[in-house]
Amino acid sequence: MTLKYTKDHEWVSVDGDNATVGITQHAQDALGDVVFVDLPQVGNDYAQGEVAGVVESVKAAADVYMPLAGEVVEVNEALRADPSLANSDPMGAGWFFKVKLAEPSQLDGLMDATSYEKFSAAA
The CA distance from 52 to 47, in Å, is 9
Domains defined along the chain, listed by start:
2-122 (2.40.50.100)
DSSP assignment of 15-51: ETTEEEEEE-HHHHHHH-SEEEEEPPPTT-EE-TT-E
Task: Categorize the per-residue pLDDT at 123 as very low, low, confident or very high, splitting at 50, 70 and 90.
Answer: confident
Tens of pLDDT, residue by residue over 70-93, are 999 999 999 999 999 999 999 999
Residue type, 62: A
Instruction: State residue 11's pLDDT score.
Output: 97
